[in-house]
Amino acid sequence: MDQKINMPLLGDKFAELKGVKTTHGVKNIPEDYRGKWFVLFSHPADFTPVCTTEFVAFQKRVDEFKALNCELIGLSVDQVFSHIKWVEWIREKLGVEITFPIIAANDDIANRIGLLHPGKGSNTVRAVFIVDPEGITRAVIYYPQEIGRNMDEIVRAVKALQISDEEKVAIPAGWPENELIGDEVIIPPATDMAEAKKRLESDRFECYDWWFCHKKRS
C-alpha cells in the first residue's frame, strides 16, 4: 500500500504538535506561538553542509524576523542530542550562536506535516511553513534536498503576507523591486462593471487597465 503524505494546505490550521522535544525544551506548536507569526522549517539532517549554511543564514536574519513579530523553529528527525552537538559545532567552528529552537521530530510528527518522502529515505525534506498569529498556515515552500533555501525570500514572504493582510492588497512579483510598479502594491480587481469604470476615473491610484491598478502603500 502506498504511504500517504499529509501536506498542510494553505488556510488550514497548522497541525497540533504537542509535547515535542526541542533544543529549548518541550514545546506545544502552534499554541506556544499564539499571537506571533512563525516560520517552521525542516532540514534533511544535522551535520550536513547545505543544512549548516542554511542555519547560519537563518540565524543572521533572526533580528529581521523578530522585527516582524516572527519566530524561527527548525526541525529534523535527528535526536535532540544531535541537534545540541551540531549547534555547539556551529558556535565553535563558525562563530555563530543558533538562538532558535530545533525540534527533534519522530516519524509520526514528520509524517503529520508531510516531511517524509517515501522516495528519499528517512531524511526529512527541505520545507518551509509560514504560520500566522492565529495558527493558520499561510505559505508552504518545498525544496529538493540538493538545493539550499533563499532566506531573504522567506523574510520577503512574511512581510508581504503581513502587508496584504493589513492593507487588503496583493503583492507583485519581486516586490519591493517589481519591474512594472516598483515597491507599490496591487488593488484587488473590480467585481462589477460600475466599479470597473470608476477605477479608470479614480485619482487614488494608477491603472494600466481597470483590472490592473496599483498604489503606494498606505
For residues 83 and 136, what is the distance between their CA atoms, to the nearest angstrom?
27
Judging by DSSP bridges, how do beta strands 212-215 and 185-187 pair with one another?
A: antiparallel
Length of the chain: 218
| From 51, 70, 207, 213, active-site residue | 51
Q: Is 207 a catalytic residue?
A: no
Asked if the peptide bond before residue 30 counts as cis, ω within 30 degrees of 0, the response is yes
State the first-to-last Cα distance of the chain, in angstroms, to the nearest integer: 53
Catalytic residues: 51
